[in-house]
Structure 1
């Protein structure tokens, strides 16, 4: 990214590389508000509601208009502050977030997931490959946990049938979730699963396979965020 033109477009419609970085920086700012001054987070929610569906675009555009060096410094310092703030929190201490209460235990992998997903947009923009690491397991776990969200977002009934997920991990081992005898199954590479649940690839662009109608419906609609 050091040699990339931050005005280059990314796969997200209307977003340049600068928009992607600005979005991450703004999200880190909001995390710090929620953790440090939770009583002030209501103002963040009100600004989000007032802007409606254009909120993310407007916020990213405002950050993208800053000089590249300023934006990069803001993002890097914000990331460091978020990491420190989450480390200092008691494990189960709750703080407000969008429509819920979160803990550091959940926010840490959520921030990892978002940075990785938007980072993928930047990698795609500059046509560069990235090396998968074992940290993908945290994103894959969010993807498995997000099955209920996926069905809800697609307005599909949530089945009570158990699911099995088997993924080829970057460490050479098979990562598994769910009972081994479950009839609903999703299998494939961990990288492709993470790309799918973060909505960075369509199912046909991955090596993922589904066994069972509900498993296929999940794969078709998989997501970890609304």
Structure 2
């Protein structure tokens, strides 16, 4: 079978889910605020559950997903709030079980997807592998929020390369999402993975460069850190403009974090 999502990517997605579960065991204070303004731990978990259910439907029942998909950013924000409000008063054990069930259903959908399949989402249709990467990114990003809220330093892994890949491929989106002209060519991105291996994307002869640690680049493109609080270096106007607005997730432009808001 021509699988829609490579086994390695599914394994990494499952590992990222497992890592996040370990951060919020039974007994965690779900009302504890995270650095994401207005989002506590419970709200973030409810959002992950809702998006996993939506992603499962987009893969398995695209027509139903399209009928229910909000047509505007306002509608998307309302849908997110609905997922949170619907689970706000659930006991922690029930929330954890819904989370586990939703994730298992999502993995099952990805395992039955086909490579040539185009999956609708909040934006242009994408491959199942791209959607799986987006889910991994969101798990990783909310995991960072939880770690910051609980004052835990996570041990980085090379799974962060998936977040970096999505950060690079959303170069044009980051500009278009803000109504800005898209530069004709992205910068060259050269990063160090936690294992010490090199990771690179973009034209080798580019005039603009982005270099640094993959972890820090991922924190910037998920808008979890301001670039000035990281090791990421830029050369060239396009690179500077991009990292000021980089956003690798769907939805309206987010303001990001001001410098030095979160210790690292």
Under TM normalisation by the shorter chain, which class is it?
Answer: over 0.9
Partner of 2:101: 77
Partner of 1:179: 203
Q: Does 1:53 align with 2:77?
A: yes
Q: Does 1:35 align with 2:35?
A: no
Structure 1 residue 44: deviation in Å?
2.6
1:64-103 alpha-carbon deviations (Å, 9 max, x no partner): 3211111111111211221121011111212322233222
Q: Comparing 135-144 with 62-71, which one deviates more in the overlay?
A: 62-71
Q: Distance in 1 between matches of 2:74 and 2:192?
A: 43
Partner of 1:128: 152
Q: Does 1:221 align with 2:222?
A: no
Would the aligned equivalents of 2:70 and 2:76 in 1 still touch at CA under 8 Å? no
TM-score by length of 1: 0.92
Q: Show structure 2 runs of 5+ residues with no match.
A: 1-23, 252-264
**Larger helix fraction of residues:** 1
In structure 2, relative to structure 1, the CA distance for the partners of 1:142 and 1:76 (3 Å cut) is: same
Structure 1 residue 221: deviation in Å?
0.7
Counterpart pick for 2:37 among 6, 9, 13: 13
Partner of 2:171: 147
Would the aligned equivalents of 1:35 and 1:95 in 2 still touch at CA under 8 Å? yes
1:189-216 alpha-carbon deviations (Å, 9 max, x no partner): 1001101101111111111111001110
TM-score by length of 2: 0.80
Q: Distance in 1 between matches of 2:99 and 2:68?
A: 19
Counterpart pick for 1:104 among 109, 115, 128: 128
- Figure out how many residues of one structure are paired with residues of the other and give that number: 226
